[in-house]
């Protein structure tokens, strides 16, 4: 029964994550609830196996229907892959709880800015020259990759905000671009957890299949509804992340 429930949550996480990110808010708490006696690293490793399956499928579906700036995103994904691993290694040397107030302020700023800028992300108008976009992509991969490996929550939302605000993408293209970087960070973390033996494959594989199904449904909805729908769902998910962060920070 535990696996059945976890597959349901993996489906929902894959659906939400494929559109605006934030699937970890659904999947990770479910893993802790239904696997209470499993060591924390193994919970994270099992979750990563599910996450990368769904994210990879949604990236593939977006790539078939949305224009993706691969020239900028491949370097971004490469740097994210490297720095996600370094971030995961750095966790043991720092107290991640010290980051919570700062991340909470950043998320609130993202939500407020997106809410009041009604045209934000509605038009796809890339504003960076090709060479500049490559270097910006590397910088994004460096910072977000390290953050995802070190801490993680809100990564997809931060990526989408950056791709809209700095690169000039609309929300649909930003969602597609975020998936490319997310696949790299998830793969880096998955290799680390797999090498350490921190994956329960008999649970992770059924969850991965469920996450793929959710991602297929989510990307289909996003492509059909367009950037306006993605923007609204983005605000809902970011609000959820803010409430979760506030609860964890001040309880």
Asked whether the beta carbons of 44 and 183 are under 8 A apart, the reply is no
Distance, in Å, from the CA atom of 110 to the CA atom of 162, rounded to the nearest integer, reads: 10
Task: Choose the weakest-confidence range: 73-82, 117-126, 157-166, 206-215.
Answer: 117-126
- What percent of the chain shows pLDDT beyond 70? 96
Q: What is the pLDDT of residues 151-184, one digit of tens each?
A: 776 788 889 889 999 999 999 999 999 999 999 9
- 231-245: average pLDDT: 85
For CA atoms 113, 116, 121, 125, give the dihedral sign.
Answer: negative
Alpha helices, DSSP H only, in the chain?
2-20, 24-34, 40-65, 70-90, 100-116, 130-150, 155-165, 171-196, 201-225, 227-250
Q: How many CB atoms lie within 10 A of CB 224?
A: 8
Residue 152 has φ and ψ, to the nearest 5°, of: 110, -55
**Per-residue tokens: 69:** 């700036």
Which of 239, 236, 247, 212 is CA-nearest to residue 56? 212
Q: The tokens 């597609």 sit on which residue?
A: 176
- What percent of the chain shows pLDDT beyond 90? 46
Asked whether the beta carbons of 51 and 24 are under 8 A apart, the reply is yes
Asked whether the beta carbons of 66 and 176 are under 8 A apart, the reply is yes
96 pLDDT above the threshold of 70: no
Residue 151 has φ and ψ, to the nearest 5°, of: -135, -65
Q: How confident is the model at residue 218 (pLDDT cuts 50, 70, 90)?
A: very high
């Amino acid at each position: 029964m535990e696996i059945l429930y976890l597959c349901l949550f993996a489906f929902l996480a894959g659906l939400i994550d494929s559109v605006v990110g934030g699937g970890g808010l659904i999947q990770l708490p479910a893993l802790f609830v239904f696997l209470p006696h499993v060591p924390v690293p193994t919970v994270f490793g099992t979750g990563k196996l599910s996450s990368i399956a769904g994210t990879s499928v949604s990236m593939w579906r977006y790539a078939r229907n949305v224009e993706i700036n691969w020239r900028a995103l491949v370097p971004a994904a490469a740097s994210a892959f490297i720095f996600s691993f370094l971030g995961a290694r750095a966790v043991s040397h720092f107290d991640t709880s010290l980051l919570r107030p700062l991340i909470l302020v950043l998320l609130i700023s993202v939500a407020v800015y997106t809410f009041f800028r009604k045209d934000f992300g509605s038009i796809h108008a890339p504003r960076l020259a090709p060479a500049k976009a490559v270097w910006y992509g590397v910088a994004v991969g460096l910072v977000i990759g390290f953050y995802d490996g070190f801490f993680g929550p809100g990564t997809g939302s931060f990526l989408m905000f950056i791709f809209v605000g700095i690169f000039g993408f609309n929300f649909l293209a930003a969602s597609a671009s975020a998936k490319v970087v997310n696949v790299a960070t998830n793969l880096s973390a998955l290799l680390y957890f797999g090498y350490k033996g921190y994956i329960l494959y008999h649970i992770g594989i059924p969850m991965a299949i469920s996450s793929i199904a959710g991602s297929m449904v989510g990307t289909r909805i996003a492509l059909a509804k367009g950037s306006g729908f993605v923007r609204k769902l983005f605000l809902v998910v970011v609000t959820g992340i803010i409430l979760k962060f506030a609860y964890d920070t001040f309880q």
